[in-house]
Structure formats: C-alpha cells, structure tokens
Structure 1
Amino acid sequence: MEEKKSLKITLIFTICFFVFIVSFFSVWKVSLSEKRVSASADSEKIKITASFYPIYIMLLNLTDGIDDVEVSLLAPAETGCLHDYQLTTGDMKLIEKCDILVVNGSGMEDFFDKAFSLKKNSVVVASDGFKPFDGNPHVWVSVSGAIYEVQKITEGLCSLDSKNSESYKKNYLIYIEKLNALEQKMKTSLAPFAGKKIITFHEAFPYFAKEFGFEISAVIEQEPGTVPSAKELAKIIESIKSVTNRGEEVALFAEPQYSSSVAKIISNETGLSVYELDPCVNGQLEKNAYIEGMEKNLSVLMNAFSEEKK
C-alpha cells in the first residue's frame, strides 16, 4: 500500500514538473521572440544624429510621428555653443552607428573633421548655401535663419531617406507655419524699437540684430569664457557712456548659459540694468523649445526698452 502511495506521489510530482518545464519554455520562447522582433525593429529604424541642441530641436519637429526614425543628440544639451567642445569616444561610436548626421555648419563644428570623413555621404549641413556674416555660425538665432536651416534639413532628410520624405515635408509645413508666425509677431512687436543699441554677451546675435533692426554697440566676450582685459572692458564702458551722454538709449544683455559677472561690472559703472538674451543653445528637449525661447527673448526686449523710457 505504501509503495503504491509513494508511486502515486512520484507520478504527480513528475507530471507537475513536466507541466512547469513546458510552461517555462513556452514563456521563454515568446519572450525571446518578442525581444528579437523589438531588436529587429530598432535595427531597421533610420538613426539621425544632431550635432547639438538647436539642430536637435529642429529634428524633433521634422521627425514627429515617424515611427521608424530615431533621433539622438551628440553634444549634451547643456553644452551650449560648441566653441570648446571635444568629441568623446562615445560620440564617435554614435556617429559611426547613425544613418544621417545633421550639423549646423558655417564653422560651428570645425572639430568634426574626422566625423565628416566617416559620414561624408550622409551629412546634412543646415546652413549650406547661407551667406554668413564675417564667418559667424549662429544662423538659427535669427528666426529667418532658423527657417532657412529647417528647410535645408528637410531637403537633406528627404534625399537621404526618401521612404519618409512625405512625412518630413508634412512636418516641415507645420513647423514652418509656426516659425513664420513667430517671426511676424516679433517683427511687429519690435518695430517701434528699430535702431536701438544693444550690448550682447558674445557674438551670437548679429543675424538677430539685423532681422529686428537693432545696432550692436559692443560685445562683452568675443568667445564665451574669454573674459575681456581691463583695457577692453574700459573701452566698452567708455563707449556706453559716450552713447548715454548723447541722450541715446542702450540696453545691456548677458546670456543665461554663462556668468553675468562682467555684465554686472559694466552695469555698476554705467547704471544700466542687466537683462538676458537667450541664443537658444540649450534648454528643454521639447519640440516647442526654440519658439518658447524666442518668445521669452521678445518679452525681455520689450521690458528692457520699456524700462529705458522710465
């Protein structure tokens, strides 16, 4: 009797173990299959890499809703302008793996020589054909410049990824409509202040100033991190006093990405308030970040020029 009971227990245990093994391998097989499908889907995606923040924001808009496209950012969002940026090993791997590399051009990515050679047939240069002022690469800081670059990027994407060309064109029209509205809003709002003199933190705003009719009286730092000498600083202060002594108005601007300590020295010596103009080189990784940044600049400018009249 005991022997039969033991045999029965052994049989039940064997059946349960068998059922467990079958179930385990069934689940494992399904999971493995799903992973393979996911990996296959990822490998089939068009990988687009932006050199830095403003280009990335443009790409977020142009690739919106396109499932088989993946956009990545090379220089970290907090980098700002690429004046002193150095490519890392990780950057080179990202460039090697991407299908399309999108850069600003006009000298902004001079350190990309090796990367350009790696991707020479799949590089989109946003400022290609744009006539730079004195070699200045900050094309996107002007809204019309951003519109130019969005158009060039769209042309490049359509050429290199023809399968998604219609989607790129559709997204282009949506984003361009927003940028055109932004440009018109800013031109209308800032028209009364045409001819006003401004002092900017570094050489990021010549296209912006031209677009909205401002005159750049001085630049605090020709390159971020290159603090002006005592002689240069004295010259800036003297030029400001010369302007204000003639009864002309001038507005002083720092940038949110950099220390405003030098601007504060100028402020103390001249009595000017310090405001911030954003060249939109970093910020939130969201589609509307550029437009929101420019609208904030509009608000700052309106406030600065209104304060001058008080």
Structure 2
Amino acid sequence: MKKPYLLLLSLFAFLPNLNAKMLIVTTTVPLANITKSIAKDSAEIIPLIPPGTSPHTFYPTPETVKRTNMADLFIMNGAGLDFWAKKLVNKNKHSLTMSSFVPLIKGEDGKGYNPHIWLSVSNVKIFAAIIDSALCSIDPADSLYYNHNKLLFIKRLDSLDIAIKKRLATHKNKYIVLFHPSLIYFDREYGIKEVAIIEKSPGKEPTPREIMNIIDKVRKYKIKVLFAEPQLNSKAVKVIASETGAKLDYIDPIGNFNEDYINFLNNNFLKIEKSFNE
C-alpha cells in the first residue's frame, strides 16, 4: 500500500503549476478549444478571430500583432485559411502550423487545399499529440499534466469516432448538400456524400445555372434539409430551399470559444444524422 505522502505526490504530478500561466494565441476558435483540452487551466488561450466571424474574411489589426508577439506559443491553421498569419509565425519563437502535420484535400476550385482540417477526428488526434509536445517543450515541469490531458482527450475522440460510425451504419443513403465545403474532411472520414456545394469559394455566389443544377440534385437525391452557416450569407441556399421545399438548418463549423470540442463536433453530427431521417 502506498504511503499517504507518496499518493499525494503522484496526484500532484497531474496538477499544473498555476503560478506561471503561459499565453497561447491561436488564429481560430476551434484551435483554441482543442488546445484548451490539453493545456486546461495552465494557460491563457486567446483566439485572434472572434467567434461569429468567418476566418475567410478576417484580417489582423495592430492589436492582433501585439497579442501574437506576446505569446509563448502561437498556433495557426494553415492551408490558406489564415494566410495573413504567416508573417506572425516568423516573429514567434514557438509556433505551429497545423496543416503541415496532416494530409490535405484539394480545394473545390482546383486551387490550393481545403483548410477545414479541424473537422476531422483523425486530424484532431494528431493535433492533440503535436500541441502536447509543444507544451511539454515550453513547460517541461508540467509534462505529466499535459500528457495526461492529451490521453484523456484522445480517448474521448476515439469514443466519439466509434459512436458516429455505429450510428451512420444504420443509414443506407448518406447524401448531403453543403452551403460551403467546410465539412469535406468530416464527410470523407465517415462516407457521407456531398451531392452539391452551393458556394464553393467564400463570397462567390452560384450562378443561376448552377442554382438550377443544385435544385435538380436536391430533388434527385431527395434531400430534405439544406445546411447554411451562421458566419456566411445564406441568400442562395434560401432560394434553393424555397424552390425545393427542403428545410433550412445551420451547421456551425467554428463553434463558440471555450466550447468543449467533442460536444461541438457531436452537435454538428447530430444535425447531419437528423437530416438523413427527414
């Protein structure tokens, strides 16, 4: 049997040193929430792009640059989403570009890559390991704490992955119409087929001919729900919904700051699954 003081020492190994909080700056809210799952209360975590703002339309201010320069760790998405952050990365000693650690999917327009890499369980498991390694390098005294949090987070991701696969196995036709190609990584991971994407590039509305083609596909595949995004103008998807009688719902690919990442991804999945049952 362990002596009481040895038991206390083993417990303290998984507690952070709260007297020396590091500052972690991320470009996006999802990266902030993923990092929070590893760092917990040992760090102040700040996303540069405010919740409710599309990463595609954000541009840094002098305050953005100031915050980044003060950070102990700077984490950007990459793959063109936060292109403006490349200059900020060079000014920070400890920085991560997450797109460099995962396989990328080509963009819908044939140019560049789809940047929505955080909407993939397998990608986020890689992110967790990379962020854990960076935190341990900056703050080796709390390595056991970060390792412990990483393992718990990955275990929860594995459980979510199993649950999603089990639920989707009951659906024969997994068709979806997206407003924007934000769920491509998620869909590829779980065999969900995008029969149409309404706005392939941010701010580039579909032509009348493209809208008619999408309407035909909605009818052909008997799509009952169309998904818009709260950060982007949904005028075109409303027109298509009106013409086809499909319901309009919202998928949020960003989420809220300090929202649990697992809950965020699961909530979006439940909306998608519900659309298969309409």
Map 1:136-155 to 2 at 5 A.
136-155=114-133
RMSD, aligned α-carbons: 2.2
What's 1:277 paired with? 251
| Higher helix proportion | 1
Map 1:152-301 to 2 at 5 A.
152-193=130-171, 195-241=173-219, 243-244=220-221, 251-279=225-253, 281-283=254-256, 285-288=257-260, 290-301=261-272
Secondary structure of residue in 1 paired with 2:194 = strand
**What is the letter of the counterpart of residue 178 of structure 2?**
T
The structure 2 residue matched to 1:105, chosen from 78, 85, 91, is 78
Structure-1-length-normalised TM-score: 0.75
CA gap of 1:205–1:298, structure 2 versus 1, over 3 A, is closer
C-alpha distance in structure 1 between counterparts of 2:223 and 2:214, whole Å: 15
Secondary structure of residue in 1 paired with 2:258 = coil
**What is the letter of the counterpart of residue 78 of structure 2?**
G
**What is the letter of the counterpart of residue 295 of structure 1?**
N
**What is the letter of the counterpart of residue 273 of structure 2?**
M
Structure 1 position 136, deviation (Å): 1.1
Structure 1 position 184, deviation (Å): 1.2
Structure 1 position 145, deviation (Å): 2.2
CA gap of 1:104–1:191, structure 2 versus 1, over 3 A, is same
Structure 1 position 268, deviation (Å): 1.9
Structure 1 position 299, deviation (Å): 2.4
Tell whether the 8 Å contact from 1:124 to 1:157 is kept in structure 2 after alignment.
no
Q: After superposition, what is the alpha-carbon deviation per residue over 1:228-280, rounded to whole angstroms, capped at 9, x for unaligned? A: 22222222223333x24xxx65652222333433212111222222233232x
Tell whether the 8 Å contact from 1:275 to 1:304 is kept in structure 2 after alignment.
no
Map 1:3-22 to 2 at 5 A.
none
Structure-2-length-normalised TM-score: 0.83
Structure 1 position 164, deviation (Å): 2.5
CA gap of 1:65–1:249, structure 2 versus 1, over 3 A, is closer
Whether 2:26 is the aligned partner of 1:50: answer yes
Structure 1 position 95, deviation (Å): 0.8
CA gap of 1:249–1:70, structure 2 versus 1, over 3 A, is closer
- Number of residue pairs matched? 255
Consecutive aligned runs of 4 or more in structure 1 exceeding 6 Å deviation: none
Tell whether the 8 Å contact from 1:52 to 1:103 is kept in structure 2 after alignment.
yes
Q: After superposition, what is the alpha-carbon deviation per residue over 1:213-232, rounded to whole angstroms, capped at 9, x for unaligned? A: 11111111123332222222
C-alpha distance in structure 2 between counterparts of 1:153 and 1:198, whole Å: 33
Secondary structure of residue in 2 paired with 1:253 = strand
**What is the letter of the counterpart of residue 306 of structure 1?**
N
- Listed as ranges, the gaps of 5+ residues in structure 1 are 1-40
**What is the letter of the counterpart of residue 122 of structure 1?**
H
Tell whether the 8 Å contact from 1:251 to 1:304 is kept in structure 2 after alignment.
yes
With a CA cutoff of 8 Å and minimum separation of 6, indicate the structure with the bigger relative contact order: 2
**What is the letter of the counterpart of residue 164 of structure 2?**
M
Whether 2:250 is the aligned partner of 1:306: answer no
**What is the letter of the counterpart of residue 151 of structure 1?**
A
What's 1:70 paired with? 44
**What is the letter of the counterpart of residue 267 of structure 2?**
K
